[in-house]
Amino acid sequence: MEHKPKLMATVSRQGQGVHAESIMIDRLSNLPDPIAHHIFSFVDLKDIVRVGCASKRCRQFHLSTPTLSFNFNEFPDMKKSPCSKRLEVMNSLDRLLAHRQNDKLKRFHIHWVPHNRYVEDCSCDESFRIMTWVYDAVRCKVEELDLDICVHQETPLALSSFMFLCDSLRSLSVNMKCVLKAPPLDSSSNLKSLNLREVCIVEEEFFTWISCCCKCIKELHLHDIYGVQNITIESSSLESFVFRCPGLSAGCNLNISGEKLESLHIYWGNIFLDRKSSLNLFVPNLKSLIWSGSLFSHQNVGKLTCLEMAELSLKVKSGKEFDIIYEILCSMPEVKVLILHKEITKALLKEGPMPTLFCARIHYLQMHMEGLFDFLVPAMVCFFRGMPSLNTLYLKSDQITFHPEARSSGFDAEFWKSQNLAFIKKLRLINIELSNGSNGIELARYILEHAQNLEKMAIVHSPEQSNAIGKLNESKKAPNAIVVFEEDQERGTRKHGPRAFWLFSRMLQRPLSLDSIWS
C-alpha cells in the first residue's frame, strides 16, 4: 500500500472560481534515514525530543539518530530550578537511551553541571545518572564519546575503565575531575583519539596500557592531568601528542617514543625548582614542535632532522639554560618555520653573535622582542646572515619602553645595506611592529628600497611615529610591492599583538600555510 503523506506543512492552491485548497505535506517523514539523521546532527537534544513527538515516523528518527548532544547551557533555567524539574530532564534522557535499544550511536556528547554547584541542599545523585548514560552509550556501540562534567565535590569520582573496553569506541574525550583507573593490560582497544583533561591518573600502568594495547591510536591529548609523575609512551601508531600540564607534580619524567609522531606540543611549568625532571624524546619523523613553559632539569630531544616547524616560548633564567636552548635549535637543521617568543629572542640576541648552523633553511621567521635596541642589532645581523632562504619575516615588539639601556636609534638604512644580507633578495612578505627609536623604521626603509621581490609589507606604529612613517612612505620600493600602515592607538596594552597578527593575515589574504611559505 502506497504511503500517504501526513498532514504537516501547508501548501495553498487557488484556481479560477475555486476556493483555496490547503494540502498538508510532511516532508521530513519522506526523507531517507541518512539525510534525516544528518539534519538531526545539527539539532540539540531538547529539539530532537520535541520532533520525536510529532509523528510515529519522527519518533523513529529521534530514537535512531546516531548523534546525541546534551548541553547543560541550553537549559539556563535549570541552574537554580528545584530538583524535581531537573529529574524530569534526566528522566527524559533516560527514556531516550532506554528506548534506543541497541541502535548504534556514532557520537554521544554531554556537558553537565551538577545541581549541588548552585543549590546546597540538593539530594539528587546526578553523578550516578550520568554514569548510567555512559553505560547506555557503550551498550549502543558508541564511536565518539565526549564527557564534559563539572564535578563539584571534594572527592573526585572514580571512573571505571569499562569505556576503554568498548570495541566500537574510536574517540574518547573526558573533561572532569575524576580518578581514572588503568584498564587490564591483556585487553585491546580500537581508540584513535584520546583526550583527557583534569583527570587524576595514579597508576603508571595506564600509559603502559596505551603503549601496549592501543595499536590504532593517532592522537593523544593530556591537559592538566595530575597524580602521576612518570609518563612513558611508546607507540608505533601515534601521530599527534599534546602535553599541557603546567601544574603537574614535581619530579615529572616524560618519555615519548614514536616513529610516526609528527606533531608534538609540550607546555609544562616547573614550579618546584628544586625537584628533578626529565624529558626524553625519540621522534625521528617529527614535523611540528610547540614547546612552552619551563625547561626540564634534563632534556634529550635527539636529532629532529625531519622537523619543519618549531615554536619556542621557554623561560631562560641563566647562561646554562641558554646553552640548552641553543642545543635544541641546533638539533633541528631542516626547520623551515621558526617562531621565537620574547624570552627566547632576548636570550639569543643578548648573547651576541653566534654560529648559525641551525637556521640555514628557514623560510619563515617570527621573533618577539622588547624592542630593536642598539645592543641587539649586531646579534640580529648575525642571525639574519645565516638565513639565505628567508622569504617571510614577522618582527613583533613591545610598546615604547623606557628601559635605561633602550637606545634604539644608532643604525640607519646605510648600515643595513653594508651588511649584504642574502635573504633580502628572496624576501616577499614582512610585518614589523615598531617600538620607540628609529632602528625599526630604518630597517623597514632598507627592506623597501632593496627587496626587489617584495610583495607586501605591513607596518604597525604608534601615533607618535606618524611623521616618520609619512617619510618612509615616500621611499622607493619594488614595483609590485604593497605597503600597509596601521596606526595602533593601544600599543602597550598587550592588545596590539592580535591586532597586528590580524593585519598580517589580512595582508596575506589567505590562511598561512607551509606550502605558501616554502614556494
State the chain's mean pLDDT as an integer. Answer: 79
- Within-domain flag for 487: yes
What's at 73, amino acid-wise? N
Name the grid cell of 334: 631542516
Q: How does pLDDT run across 49-64, given as a tens digit for each residue?
A: 676 666 666 666 667 7
Q: Which helix (H) or strand (E) holds 219?
A: strand 219-223
Average pLDDT of the residues in 303-323:
86
Distance of alpha carbon 35 from its chain centroid, rounded?
A: 32
pLDDT-derived band at 394, boundaries 50, 70, 90: very high
Phi, psi of 492 (to 5 degrees): 100, -10
What's at 143, amino acid-wise? E
Domains held by the chain: number: 1
- Within-domain flag for 440: yes
Range of the domain at 398: 352-492
Residue located via cell numbers 623606557: 402
The better pLDDT of the pair 498, 26 is held by 26
pLDDT-derived band at 468, boundaries 50, 70, 90: confident
Q: 414, 441 in Cβ contact below 8 A?
A: no
Indicate if the pLDDT at residue 3 is higher than 80. Answer: no
- Within-domain flag for 17: no
Name the grid cell of 505: 593575515
- Within-domain flag for 34: no
User: What pLDDT was estimated at residue 147?
Assistant: 92
Q: Beta strand pairing status for 230-234 and 309-314?
A: unpaired
Residue located via cell numbers 583519539: 193
pTM, two decimals, is 0.81
- Within-domain flag for 131: no
- Within-domain flag for 393: yes
User: What pLDDT was estimated at residue 24?
Assistant: 52
Average pLDDT of the residues in 135-145:
91
pLDDT-derived band at 492, boundaries 50, 70, 90: very low
Q: 392, 430 in Cβ contact below 8 A?
A: yes
Name the grid cell of 428: 616577499
pLDDT-derived band at 519, boundaries 50, 70, 90: very low
Name the grid cell of 102: 541497541
Q: 173, 145 in Cβ contact below 8 A?
A: yes
- Within-domain flag for 368: yes
User: What pLDDT was estimated at residue 154?
Assistant: 62
pLDDT-derived band at 235, boundaries 50, 70, 90: very high
Q: How does pLDDT run across 372-381, given as a tens digit for each residue?
A: 888 888 888 8
| Lowest mean pLDDT, pick from 13-27, 108-122, 492-506 | 492-506
pLDDT-derived band at 475, boundaries 50, 70, 90: confident
Indicate if the pLDDT at residue 160 is higher than 90. Answer: no
pLDDT-derived band at 420, boundaries 50, 70, 90: very high
Cα(423)–Cα(386) distance, integer angstroms: 9
The domain spanning residue 425 has which CATH number? 3.80.10
Question: Under 8 Å CB-to-CB from 82, ≥6 apart: which residues?
Answer: none
Indicate if the pLDDT at residue 247 is higher than 90. Answer: no
User: What pLDDT was estimated at residue 352?
Assistant: 59
- Within-domain flag for 369: yes
Q: Which of 59-68, 102-111, 231-240 is most confident?
A: 231-240
Residue 393: count of CB within 10 angstroms of its CB: 23
